[in-house]
Chains A and B, each alone.
Chain A
Amino acid sequence: MRLDLTHIQRWIEPGSRVLDLGCGDGEFLEFLRDNRQVRGMGLEIDHTYITAAIARGINVIEQDMDKGLGNFPDQSFDTVVMALALQAVHFPDRVLDEMLRIGRESIVTFPNFGHWRCRIQLGIAGRMPRSRYMPHTWYNTPNIHYCTVHDFENLCREKGIRILARDVVGNTARSPILSARWPNLFATTAIYRITC
């Protein structure tokens, strides 16, 4: 399972109801179902992923979250998860609002654009950064709203979103210490547990 998902699964209550925005092939919801008795539902637009999730027995709705989540009632899920998709939506702030409306709490993960490698690529080489989590070229990428750990926390402050917990994924064995101390510089992926 992807590293950010391994990190966030411990924040999911056993037996709870989870909505996974951009659920991919349903691997995470399958894990939660089989190990935490979670009742899950996923949102996805990729056709191949949708078929794979259905075959896994995951409830998946073909829906573009950029077009709104109004069909989900207020507080209808315990946790709303959006893993590595914040940077790909048109209105990240509105999606965050919706997540907090639909779920008691939310978990967001995103690639940290403030990572030192990104800074070197942009600041020294003068090129748009690419990495394992951001492998696309600038002209052909689903990622249209890059942000950093600082940017995200600023947005939360502005919107009055409470950060319940922060976790980070670094990219080397040493990096847990570094990325915990200086997340904006050493986190490759930032992970937030938030509520309103």
Chain B
Amino acid sequence: MKIHEYQAKALMSEFGIPIPQGAVATSAAEVKKIAAELGGRVAIKAQVYAGGRGKAGGIKVAGSPEEAETLAAQMLGTRLVTHQTATEGVPVSKVLVEKAVSVQQELYLSIVVATANRMSVMMASEAGGMDIEEVARTSPEKILLEYIDRATGFQAFQGRKLAYGMNLSQNLIRPAANLMANLYRLFQAKDCSLAEINPLVVTTDGEIMALDAKLNFDDNALFRHSDIEQLHDVEQEDPLEVKANELGVKNYIKMDGNIGCLVNGAGLAMAVMDLITLAGGRPANFLDIGTVNNTDRVVAAFKVFTTDPSVKAILVNIFGGIARVDVIAQGIVEAHHQMDIPQPLVIRLAGTNVDEGKSILAESGIKFIEATNFLDAASKAVAAAKGERN
């Protein structure tokens, strides 16, 4: 799960990481007021779930409260399109207003879990302020890594190694090492999947602070962080994905095709998408129905399909394991009782309790196209989406 920069900065500040003075605003009038209180030059930063804001016009500097008001008015209520967003962009409903900082040096700092080593790792670089993947490609020697032992946590010596490694001056070594230790405390305490400060800056006054802040959280750990979960801004997500999520369909991703897919298992769902593409069609979504023990989630999936105007055919491909085919079949029947499903429906069932599932469908009398295997299912769905009879 993502959160906004201003929220990430508030959390960092709570954990003792210095951040610029500032406040969040939803109107240009508020921006003017905050800018006047801060005094001098201010930065106005669009709060969106996407990187690349600077180049896309989502970060502006104003010399006066009036200018801040004008710039904010141009930004608020628009949609920002960056290289990381879809073509329609993401809405800008909030801006962060911060006292402009005079920067002497830009650094990079982040923590992620290194899957190969199965440990958390702190990454630091003196090449801050730019795309870190670009730095990794062009000058990998400028990226320093410190793996963090789960039992000991991040130690002071590791902070010193990274701080000296970034060629910081002697008076900054201890503040930088402390900041790193605090970032690890935050990462661990809040179950982050990414904690990134880019850039981490040294100001001309010789202070070190987080000029930008990005925190992503492990969705699987949100059950123990209700404070974090409520920070989520659904306005930043695809509306169909939000609806799916509200209905309890968690693993749903909207795509640009016209075949609605209901599959159990992420790998099989991806394989079905691949197969549809090979058969000359395009999937309308990725959907892993997961472990189904009741029919609600199946009904919910059909609600999403019938809401999505791009869906011209529905493909159900279930290979029962932990999910039981009879429960899925019952869900399909219930969906037909609860709503009108105008799209042709192709169903392929196999695995745990398949015979029970097939007889439930047969006895229900609902109309569907039966497929015998999953290649057959994909080709029949592609034909159905094109309006061909099977």
Report if A and B associate in a common complex: no
